[in-house]
Structure 1
Amino acid sequence: MMGQARSMLRALAFDRGGPPGLSVSRLDRALTMFEEPPAATLVLGRLEQDRAEYTLGWSNAGHLSPLLIDADGSTRCLVPPRHGIPVGIDASVPRFTHEHPLPPAGTPLLFTDGLVERRDQDIDSGRDDLAGRASRLATTPLEELCDALVTCGDRTCSWRTQ
């Protein structure tokens, strides 16, 4: 069912366009066709370019906020002023699009909760660990950055056991 919702969101975002919040609202309405709509958390992001400057636009439906990695190694969570509920719960709840300018050589990181959830620690500690690892890898090429972030060293990654 989650695969269907993901495919529906991709089709809506591609075919209809518009800001991410609008695409997430459309997905919410589309999910009402199911007798028991699947509930899911998600972040839908879109990069916009205006001349040489980029902006990340995103809508958050109950998911962990994106992380921004600056070229100097600083990181920050892009916590929106309005954090939405998961999709599939109430299609009448408004969705919002948030925007944040991206610094030169900055990298927005959207990630699965499985990357930061651990049975033996709270999720904030996992997110702090991810931010610390991302900070040390700030100047690493993108593919290597992603590979390094999903490598969990000597412990078992929770996403690998699912």
Structure 2
Amino acid sequence: RPGISEERWWSPVNTPVLGPDGQVAWIIHRGEDVTAFVKAHQATRPAGVRVGEKLEAAESLEAELYARARELQRLNEELRQAHTREREVAVTLQEAMLHTPDLAQHSQDVVVRYQPAVGSLNVCGDWYDVVDIPPDQLALAVGDVIGHGLQAAAVMGMLRSALSAAVRALARPAQALEVLGLYARSIDDALGTTAVKAIVDRRSHLITYSSAGHLPPILVHTDGRTELLDQATDPPLGARPQHVPRPQASLHYKPGDTLVLYTDGLIERRDEDIDTGLNRLIDTLSECSRLGPEQVADTVLARLGVAGGGRDDVALVVVRL
């Protein structure tokens, strides 16, 4: 077409566009400009080739391009299906590792939210756990393995299972974390993991807790007052002397209070101090003190801007005491 060499002509089919001199000006395949590829091939042809021969060569090249494009499309589809299968396997694995049978018995008073980082395979190294300890105790935990993806999820699964077993055998949260710390030293990529364990005694209305480098849980009273459970914090797993006992602390609560455990993905932002995010969470919880656990969880995620996921993994546990 006249003037075609000066403008791009977007053809809806795989057709070469010829200039007035019979030269291929542009070729468009599925909306992609492959002109440079065609001209590179034209440059290798001998001089003096007639227009008809050039047209035949262009058609041959078009057929080759189309065949290659179909092959590329097939490979892309295979990759997409492989990614889908990998994601399904990863999600199934994570769900199995986070399975919490006792949680079903507390559907009215315990709510959990779990969100892997945006762009991940929907697996991560954060975890939560809810364990009934007869006759009247409830053990709660959250933890955070360094990193994302399948490797972090595998480490998370081992640590979570070990802590869940330890708290069933040991009466004190600090003891359970000591056992977990020893176990973590034998697992690659487990060092530096943070975790917090709390046991709620419904008879004495007492919360006993211990933390391995984790952010403090928050007790929200019915009048909106908040207390940080930050009196028993020690270094992360594997980052402390083995001969020194982990600290443990306790505080009383009143029926109707709310206990919140979370991981750093909820409050940590790259462009601000972590205390800013923590204060934002505290203010939000103070305003939500009379809401139900489901509403509290949803409001917290929305107010802190991670309702649709964030850059880091998030685990959140909200307990109406």
Give 2:276's aligned residue: 125
1:11 aligns with 2:165: yes
Equivalent residues in 2 for 1:1-40 (5 A)? 1-14=155-168, 16-34=169-187, 37-40=190-193
Q: Which moved more, 1:38-47 or 1:27-36?
A: 27-36
> What do residues 85-138 of structure 1 show as CA deviations (whole Å, max 9, x unaligned)?
101224334212211101231112111111110122111111000000001100
1:161 aligns with 2:314: no
The one of 98, 101, 123 aligned to 2:249: 98
Give 1:151's aligned residue: 302
**Residue 156 of structure 1, CA deviation:** 5.2
Task: Quickly say closer, same or farther: Cα 1:49–1:137, change in 2 above 3 A.
Answer: same
The one of 259, 274, 277 aligned to 1:108: 259
Q: Is the radius of gyration larger for structure 1 or structure 2?
A: 2
Residue 185 of structure 2 contacts residue 191 of structure 2 at CA under 8 Å; is this kept in 1?
Answer: no
Ranges in structure 2 where 5+ consecutive residues have no aligned partner: 1-154, 313-321
Report the count of equivalent residues.
157
- Partner AA of 2:219 in structure 1: L
Q: As a proportion of its length, which structure holds more strand?
A: 2
**TM-score of the superposition, structure 2-length normalised?**
0.45
Identity %: 29
> What do residues 35-58 of structure 1 show as CA deviations (whole Å, max 9, x unaligned)?
6643211111110122xx411111
Ranges in structure 1 where 5+ consecutive residues have no aligned partner: none
**Residue 10 of structure 1, CA deviation:** 1.1
**Residue 29 of structure 1, CA deviation:** 1.6
Task: Quickly say closer, same or farther: Cα 1:31–1:46, change in 2 above 3 A.
Answer: same
The 4+ residue runs of structure 1 with deviation greater than 6 A are none
Task: Quickly say closer, same or farther: Cα 1:17–1:143, change in 2 above 3 A.
Answer: farther
1:85 aligns with 2:235: yes
Distance in 1 between residues matched to 2:218 and 2:268, nearest whole Å: 15
Give 1:44's aligned residue: 197
Residue 114 of structure 1 contacts residue 158 of structure 1 at CA under 8 Å; is this kept in 2?
Answer: no
Task: Quickly say closer, same or farther: Cα 1:47–1:112, change in 2 above 3 A.
Answer: same
Root-mean-square deviation over aligned CA pairs: 2.1
